[in-house]
């Protein structure tokens, strides 16, 4: 085992998968000599060369379109979109081509493609470098969408995504790159794309979340425990396919549900979790299914006080936990 930062766990996964399978290639803006704007692809260019680590123009539609062509012709591409905010020009390639290829070809073609996407708010990143895009893509059949929250999951789920025969959108919250550390095995392993993980057992209510807000939720749960409220924290970590069984089992145990996500509240991915609980666990509930999410504004403000107003903090979580627990 080694203690790694989130970014280093991802970097190791790239190195190991490219060593394991010569079909794996990496492409994106500044992924080569620069090693990526966040350093995730550091050292790959020096080790594997320009034929397998490809710096691209600033053209997301072309990045994904070329990667789909590679995947259909025997390669296993990992395409990096520099920021989630810039993924929108590639929407048609992802949704109409990659996600539907196996269906439209009656199983004759798959697209073994990983699209890595740094998302979410970080200090000072503001309107065009802070977007959460998961709800757009989790809506689409044929596309897996994952958002690992720990270095262990980051490495294991990226390896599983590379080995998956179909396209995977791999979301990496930017605040986790250098702030989150954890134990990661040195030997080869994968984390299945699908099952959620119960990060903290509790009896009074369940919190369902993913990405950075998982860590805020765990801190809030510790604070709530000092007040006598035992919170169960479930790391959804795979948005599609969604682990319904773990979610429903947790609600049946605690009888109350709080869904937490950073994206705008209206139409955010957490609404799907809330709908699932309302439809399939209604008789287990002792209170309303609550959501805590970002406000419905066009983006995270640049000014630090307004940035703090937008974010899902431990304090906001604790207030929501108290309100639901005492319902």
Q: Which residue numbers are catalytic? A: 129
Intra-chain end-to-end CA distance of the chain, in Å: 44
At 171 the three-state DSSP class reads strand
| Sole residue written with tokens 């070809």 | 105
Residues contacting residue 220 through CB under 8 Å, at least 6 positions apart: 207, 231, 314, 317, 318, 321
Q: Which residues does residue 114 pair with via DSSP β-bridges, in sequence order?
A: 78, 168
Sign, CA dihedral 9-13-15-20, equals: positive
How far is the C-alpha of 293 from the C-alpha of 303, rounded, in Å?
19
Sequence-ordered alpha helix ranges (H) in 114-211: 134-138, 151-163, 176-179
Phi-psi region of 36 (alpha: psi -120 to 50; beta: other; left: phi over 0): left
Cβ 182 vs Cβ 197: under 8 Å? no
Q: What are phi and psi of 23, to 5 degrees?
A: -80, -15
Sign, CA dihedral 196-208-99-6, equals: negative
Q: What tokens were used for 39?
A: 């350093």
Residues contacting residue 264 through CB under 8 Å, at least 6 positions apart: 132, 293, 294, 295, 296, 297
Distance set, CA 2 to CA 173, 178, 187 (Å): 22, 15, 10
Q: What tokens were used for 171?
A: 């979301």
């Amino acid at each position: 085992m080694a203690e790694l930062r989130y970014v280093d766990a991802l970097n190791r996964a790239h190195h190991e998968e490219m060593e394991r399978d010569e079909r794996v290639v990496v492409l994106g803006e500044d992924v080569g000599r620069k090693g990526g704007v966040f350093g995730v692809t550091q050292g790959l260019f020096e080790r594997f060369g320009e034929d397998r680590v490809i710096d691209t123009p600033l053209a997301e539609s072309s990045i994904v379109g070329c990667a789909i062509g590679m995947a259909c012709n025997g390669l296993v591409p990992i395409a990096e979109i520099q920021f989630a905010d810039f993924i929108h020009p590639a929407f048609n390639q992802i949704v109409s081509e990659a996600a539907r290829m196996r269906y439209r070809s009656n199983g004759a073609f798959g697209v073994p493609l990983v699209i890595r996407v740094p998302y979410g708010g970080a200090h000072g990143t503001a309107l065009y470098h802070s977007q959460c895009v998961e709800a757009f893509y989790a809506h689409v059949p044929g596309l897996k969408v994952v958002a690992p929250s720990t270095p262990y999951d980051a490495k294991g789920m990226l390896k599983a995504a590379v080995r998956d025969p179909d396209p995977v959108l791999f979301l990496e919250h930017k605040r986790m790159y250098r702030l989150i550390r954890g134990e990661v095995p040195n030997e080869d392993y994968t984390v299945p794309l699908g099952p959620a993980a119960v990060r903290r057992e509790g009896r009074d209510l369940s919190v369902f979340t993913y990405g950075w807000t998982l860590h805020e939720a765990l801190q809030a749960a510790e604070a709530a425990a000092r007040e006598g409220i035992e919170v169960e924290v479930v790391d959804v970590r795979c948005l599609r396919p969604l682990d319904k069984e773990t979610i429903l089992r947790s609600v049946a145990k605690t009888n109350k549900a709080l869904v937490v996500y950073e994206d705008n509240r209206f139409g955010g991915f957490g609404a799907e979790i809330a709908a699932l609980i309302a439809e399939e666990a209604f008789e287990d509930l002792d209170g309303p299914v609550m959501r805590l999410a970002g406000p419905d504004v066009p983006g995270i403000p640049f000014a630090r006080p307004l940035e703090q107003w937008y974010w899902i903090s431990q304090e906001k979580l604790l207030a929501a936990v108290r309100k639901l627990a005492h319902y």
